[in-house]
Structure 1
Amino acid sequence: MAFLQVQLPFSVFLFFSISVLVSSARIRRYTPPSVTHLTDLFPHIPVSDGYSNFFGETNIQLTGNGSMATLTLDKSSGSGLASKNKYQYGFFSAAIKLPSGLSSGVVVAFYLSNADVFPHNHDEIDIELLGHDKRNDWVFQTNVYANGSVSTGREEKFYLWFDPTAEHHHYIILWNSHHIVFLVDNVPVREFPRNNAVFPLKPMSVYATIWDGSQWATHGGKYPVNYRNAPFIASFSEMEMSGCVSNQKAAGPDGVSCSKNNPSNLDPVEGQEFATLSKQQVTAMDWARSKLMVYSYCKDTSRFKVMPPECK
């Protein structure tokens, strides 16, 4: 559709120009420190091989011979994929391109959960990308909780140092018996050690979804999804899932049995190179947290009258 040629008052033009500048300024265009590209160490799994439709089937399209998926949110439904296997630890990555335009209230998520098996005491490890306000701004939120409701969650939020709508970027979860690490484009932004009071231990499925988070995603619902801007389309590619595939039928005394699913020669579950962060990774994580963090549950005194023990 061609744009109408109309003469706008200069004040309107000035307001529009300033708004665009402010919007652009919200994307922190930093150059991150150099890090090892963990995503280069593990093979890509075609979406069609590793995932099944979870919900909103009509809003899911596979392209590239099943190597890429587009998930759509419109007025009729969101959409999502669920892994065909459940995992007890592993390395999970997705290259995601977020919806362009004004996307307040839209949530694009890449996460692990066992709510289908343990509805009242489930575990979850979340990456949630939140269309955050009226300025086309996206927030990267991480969360961990175990054996309970979302009220026990451990949220942290970050701005990104790039435009996540311009191209695909890697969003990564490393989960093993030592720690959980969240990474963006291989840069660690958060480490959650095993000695925390809340740590997921039960097998989980991997999910990729887009849905309407109007009630909470933007300052408690201040900016709900505006479906005049729909459809909202997220693209997922370069999916990686390597680790410990849960085999409940062969479970031992602890209730868990795993078959290793590591097509590479590196093991993210037991490999010593994944037990701790390298000095290079620690430096990169310190950089991300100092420049980009905008919320941590450990500083939320209105929510926690007594801070969780790991915050001390």
Structure 2
Amino acid sequence: MKKMPLLKEHILLVGILTFCINIDDARSLDGHYTPPNVARLTDLFHHQPLNQAFLTFFGGSNIHFVNNGSYVQLNLNKTSGSGLISLNKYNYGFFSAAIKLPQGYSSGVVVAFYMSNADLFPHNHDEIDFELLGHENGKEWLLQTNIYGNGKTNIGREEKFRFWFDPTKEFHQYSIIWNSHHTVFLVDNIPVREVENNEVMSTIYPSKPMSVYATIWDGSEWATNGGKNPVNYKYEPFVASFGEMEMEGCVWVSARSVPSCSKGGQEGPSAVDPVEGENFIKLSQQQKMGMDWARNRFMIYSYCKDPGRFPVLPPECKTK
């Protein structure tokens, strides 16, 4: 009979601990983070075969399609890196890839999933970047995001994050929402950064049609510890795997002077356009909470918090 209160106290204590863990989203008992639940936008679109939706950008001998072209292995070795460029260019849309990063020593290696139009507009191009930065032994891969428009590269708008998982063990999804309202970077459907197209950002916001790129390359000059740790080719080849590619939006037709998109027989962005609905023009409350979770726990650098680099902060930083 005397053991009953102890049992009740034990149950109560377990309940309190479970409640606290759920509220705080802290590390679980095995040392991993439990991310918040958010809408799975990647479930809305079909996967495109990479061997049909992309062309070789560079390093053709280091590109190996697998599983009937639904996945690709991009290699970096002493000879070359490698990369793909999308067959189509887009005026806006939702773009996503599942990526598994190279294991082991990877200092100086850069794996990138990004959008750019430097081929069409070499002097005033736009770009939206996921850059995954390699590491030296005992260190973690880092995630860097960047965005600029109209060739305004004099101010790098980088933000860096740690991961809440090991990006070398399994595939994880890296997604971009890009439209006239905002640009959002998402990891496993959790927003990690939102850039709104407001009055302050209007002249530097990406606005011209862009291609989608998947690459791996040597970033020895800057990628790891500011270039202090270059690529060591003793560990080659460095292999990045891409799959579950999704590219849904307004395909650019060069012969037309204005963007024209059709779906279901209708021209232009409309109610049936899959990337112009409420899910894509603004973040839900759930997504905002997820973004706060990611930024508060895992962001390790923002250009808006770097007065040493910018004694006068860029104007958009003052609105954050």
Equivalent-residue separation in structure 2 for 1:150 and 1:250 (angstroms): 28
> Gaps spanning 5+ residues in structure 1: where?
1-27
Question: Counterpart in 2 of 1:97?
Answer: 100
| CA apart distance, 1:268 | 4.8
When normalised by structure 1's length, the TM-score is 0.86
> Deviation string for 1:104-142 (max 9, x for gaps)?
110000000001111111100000000033324200000
Equivalent-residue separation in structure 2 for 1:192 and 1:39 (angstroms): 20
Question: Counterpart in 1 of 2:196?
Answer: 193
Question: Counterpart in 2 of 1:110?
Answer: 113
| CA apart distance, 1:154 | 1.0
Equivalent pair of 1:174/1:268 in contact (CA under 8 Å): no
Equivalent pair of 2:105/2:135 in contact (CA under 8 Å): no
Equivalent pair of 1:187/1:285 in contact (CA under 8 Å): yes
SS in 1 for 2:87: strand
When normalised by structure 2's length, the TM-score is 0.84
| CA apart distance, 1:305 | 2.4
SS in 2 for 1:82: strand
| CA apart distance, 1:261 | 10
Distance 1:72 1:136, change over 3 A: farther
SS in 2 for 1:170: strand
Distance 1:260 1:114, change over 3 A: farther
State the identity as a percent.
64
Question: Counterpart in 1 of 2:185?
Answer: 182
| CA apart distance, 1:218 | 1.2
SS in 2 for 1:94: strand
Equivalent pair of 1:245/1:260 in contact (CA under 8 Å): no
Residues 270-309 of structure 1 correspond to what in structure 2 (within 5 A)?
270-309=276-315
Question: Counterpart in 1 of 2:254?
Answer: 248
Equivalent-residue separation in structure 1 for 2:241 and 2:247 (angstroms): 17
Which of residues 224, 240, 260 is equivalent to 1:218? 224
| 1:79 correspondence with 2:85 | no
Write out the 4+ residue segments of structure 1 that deviate beyond 2 Å after TM superposition.
Answer: 132-136, 149-153, 256-262, 265-269
Question: Counterpart in 2 of 1:205?
Answer: 211
Distance 1:36 1:166, change over 3 A: same
Q: Root-mean-square deviation (CA), in Å?
A: 1.9
> Gaps spanning 5+ residues in structure 2: where?
1-30, 266-270
Question: Counterpart in 2 of 1:53?
Answer: 56
What letter corresponds to residue 251 of structure 2 in structure 1?
V
Structure ID, larger Rg: 2
Equivalent-residue separation in structure 2 for 1:143 and 1:259 (angstroms): 30
What letter corresponds to residue 285 of structure 1 in structure 2?
M
Question: Counterpart in 2 of 1:17?
Answer: none
What letter corresponds to residue 158 of structure 1 in structure 2?
F
Equivalent-residue separation in structure 2 for 1:127 and 1:260 (angstroms): 29
